[in-house]
Structure 1
Amino acid sequence: MARTPRAPKPIEGAPAEPDLLDNAPPPREARTLSGHAEAVERLVEAFGGASPPQAILLEGPRGIGKATLAFRLARALLGTIPGTALPANLADDPESRASRQIAAGTHPSLLHLTRPWDEKGKKFKGDLTVDEVRRIVPFLGSTSADGGWRMVIVDAVDDMNLNAANALLKALEEPPRRTLFVLIAHVSGRVLPTIRSRCRAIRMRPLTEDEVRAALNAMGADPRTAPLGEGSVRRALSLAAAGADIVKSAQRLLSPQMVRDVRAQHQLAELAAQRRDDSFATVLELVLDAIAGRAKSGAGTMSLPALDAYASLYLSVTDDRRRIEVFNLDRKEMVLAVLSRLSAADKAAGLT
């Protein structure tokens, strides 16, 4: 039996994986999945048939539980005797060998791909690199420990550069038997059509406020912050950490009537440029919310060029956020440029 290739050796002092919040467990350790009963049901049905999928695309807003569901599926699939039905609700025994190995990141039949740590820069790289994706080849070239499934979780497709996406596409073309790819996408428009066509897509909706509250309770966080989440547990946690003063100020300054004012733009940019990392992340999160909210409210009434302008700006901000993290660019200048474009888009859409 071929040996399963090991993951890169953890670097001392490096976080376990990117984008972790201080007060939340990593998805591989999370035991509670709030909401998403329909998505769970679809997965159970998919693996109960004669032709289970070999690639699944879980898509939806950031922080709603996509990675948590992917690992819940991994525990059920890798902890079940090959050829038997998956347990209802993807339930698993937390004390089983498979569950403990997955939580520790040591299961030989599971490969979790994320943005790698840059030891020189002491931070995670901005992209999920082609070298990371190429780890799939030796992983799938090995023999499964028990003759069962092997699983690759790509977290997230949005983070891949073009070379990495092409390497993933090649791996998806002819996967070995009993291989499952689970791709996570926060922004559907970032998924290449050629990759999407090889996947069974499952759209996951934002959580209800009660579901966000239940998730916060399960992790010991303050459930009173649930309304901040607007369907996302991650958003509720990060905005609560940033502070109500920053959130309220940013939301006020992002209204169409305020954002066109140069003084308001500078006030918001100053908020983002504060030394606290969560201030910058919070302002960008609220900018993205404002852009998405304008487009959503204007669907059916705005012109297509106006909606396209908002869509283009949304994708641009997500790209700019990664570049800022990687190259330590000027936060204030970046925010001012985005707000200027947002003001122009509002004017073109007739909001100001």
Structure 2
Amino acid sequence: MRESSNEPDRLPNAPHPRETLALVGHVRQERSFLDALRSERLHHAWLLGGPEGIGKASFAYRAARFLLASGDPLVRAGSVESLAMPEEDPATRRVMAQSHPDLHLLRRTVKPDGKGVTSNIPVDSVRRVIDRFGASAAEGGWRVCIVDSAEDMDRSSANALLKLLEEPPPRALFLIVAHAPGRALPTIRSRCRLLTFDALDEGAVAEAGRLALERMGSPFDASALMRAASLADGSVRRALTYVSPETLALVEAVRARLDALPGVDLTALLALAEDVAGRAGESDFAIMIDTIQSWLAAHLHAHAHAGAARLAPLAEVWEKLGRAAREVETYNLDRRPLVISMFHDLSEAVRRSRAA
């Protein structure tokens, strides 16, 4: 399987969701979709909500393959327990090759100059999809549009898509991936059926990671994959990012500093700051930020019942961390002072949270 470097929704060295045929977990979600199809009341728009990297986009392509395969999907749904389609099916192959005329994808795109990708889904991309849905289906059956993701739509692109959701043509399905569905425009949410996806347990993350690495033909260490899965907070995407020895060592070092809070080992912290400094540390800095945000998210979720007074310090430091990380990237600032101040802020936030 080839790695593509110009797809913003592809994780390096991992299969793209359209190439991922096995779906680990999410049996309830498949059953809900199949039940809706069998009842002949399949809603035209689904908001696939849940944490990033747990298989929502893979589910969307899985559903698309099922509807776009030859024959009546309603008849097919009556005799199966999942949305799985064989790899040799012509529709499966065309979806994987991005050549099916009735599958449309909305995502961030490569900039016209070829340098980097757009920060949002361009409104012109949405308008092109609207034009295509205004014509007949190329193969006379279903048409599917996958939006990956809702967070990448600005107000202009979301409002353009809304027009299509308000007056969809027959046999049209919209699958909108949403990492934080509550933040989607209320008008978008109101026209979609919400299908929520939960983070996977460690065993499922490791299994999905194994399948992905094997599909890519990538060698991997099973014990390292299990360690990565244990640190991934239910995200296969995160586990695949962590599985290399160097990244795994960095994540474990960051987590060790986080788990020691409110205590701060200045010597270890200075070593960590040095590791993510300089141009060579750009990707390591991003991994560190993601690890901290994941750790904060887990703590906020675990103590959701504790009340606002206890959660507020952690929420505040989350916002401050995000702003500081964006400023470092925008203005190319030295990362070392940020790492030191960040952990001191985290230490104070944990202390205040425990005292509340």
- 1:305 to partner: Cα distance: 4.9
Could you list the per-position Cα deviations for residues 64-110 of structure 1 after superposition, in whole angstroms to 9, with x for gaps in the alignment?
11111110101001114246333430121322221111000111111
Matched, 1:280 2:285: yes
Matched, 1:44 2:44: no
Matched, 1:246 2:239: no
- The partner residue of 2:302 within 297, 310, 313 is 297
CA distance in 2, matches of 1:335, 1:19: 28
Could you list the per-position Cα deviations for residues 209-251 of structure 1 after superposition, in whole angstroms to 9, with x for gaps in the alignment?
2222222232324443133333221111111234332112111
1:92-131 equivalences under 5 Å are 92-120=85-113, 122-131=115-124
Match of 1:90 in 2: 83
CA distance in 1, matches of 2:328, 2:145: 29
Q: Superposition RMSD on alpha carbons, in Å?
A: 3.1
CA distance in 2, matches of 1:259, 1:175: 56
CA distance in 1, matches of 2:87, 2:296: 41
Q: Give the length in aligned residue pairs.
A: 338
CA distance in 2, matches of 1:317, 1:177: 46
Match of 1:54 in 2: 44
- 1:113 to partner: Cα distance: 1.2
CA distance in 1, matches of 2:272, 2:153: 30
Q: CA contact under 8 A between 2:143 and 2:171: conserved in structure 1? A: yes
- 1:173 to partner: Cα distance: 1.5
Q: CA contact under 8 A between 1:129 and 1:164: conserved in structure 2? A: yes
Normalising by structure 1, we get a TM-score of: 0.83
CA distance 1:105–1:199, change in 2 (3 Å):
same
Could you list the per-position Cα deviations for residues 309-344 of structure 1 after superposition, in whole angstroms to 9, with x for gaps in the alignment?
54465577668777877x574472765675565445
Matched, 1:74 2:64: yes
Match of 1:6 in 2: none
1:80-229 equivalences under 5 Å are 80-82=70-72, 84-85=74-75, 86=77, 87-120=80-113, 122-219=115-212, 220=214, 221-224=220-223, 225-226=225-226, 227-229=230-232
CA distance in 1, matches of 2:327, 2:122: 14
Q: CA contact under 8 A between 1:272 and 1:331: conserved in structure 2? A: no
* Bigger proportion of residues as helix: 2
Partner amino acid, structure 2, of 1:176 = P
Moved more, 27-36 or 212-221: 212-221
Structure 2 residue ranges without an equivalent (≥5): 215-219
Partner amino acid, structure 2, of 1:293 = A
Q: Secondary structure at the match of 2:32?
A: helix
Moved more, 339-348 or 144-153: 339-348
CA distance in 1, matches of 2:321, 2:46: 27
Could you list the per-position Cα deviations for residues 35-86 of structure 1 after superposition, in whole angstroms to 9, with x for gaps in the alignment?
1111111111111112211011111111111111110101001114246333
CA distance 1:192–1:282, change in 2 (3 Å):
same
Could you list the per-position Cα deviations for residues 276-323 of structure 1 after superposition, in whole angstroms to 9, with x for gaps in the alignment?
44312321221111211221232222x315435544655776687778
- 1:116 to partner: Cα distance: 0.9
Structure 1 residue ranges without an equivalent (≥5): 1-12
Moved more, 25-34 or 159-168: 159-168
CA distance 1:184–1:259, change in 2 (3 Å):
farther
Match of 1:28 in 2: 18
Normalising by structure 2, we get a TM-score of: 0.83
Q: CA contact under 8 A between 2:262 and 2:350: conserved in structure 1? A: no
Moved more, 312-321 or 91-100: 312-321
Match of 2:236 in 1: 233
Partner amino acid, structure 1, of 2:249 = D
CA distance in 1, matches of 2:58, 2:74: 23
CA distance 1:344–1:157, change in 2 (3 Å):
farther
Q: Secondary structure at the match of 2:105?
A: strand
CA distance 1:257–1:316, change in 2 (3 Å):
closer
Q: Secondary structure at the match of 1:300?
A: helix
- 1:140 to partner: Cα distance: 0.9
Partner amino acid, structure 2, of 1:30 = T
Q: CA contact under 8 A between 1:298 and 1:307: conserved in structure 2? A: yes
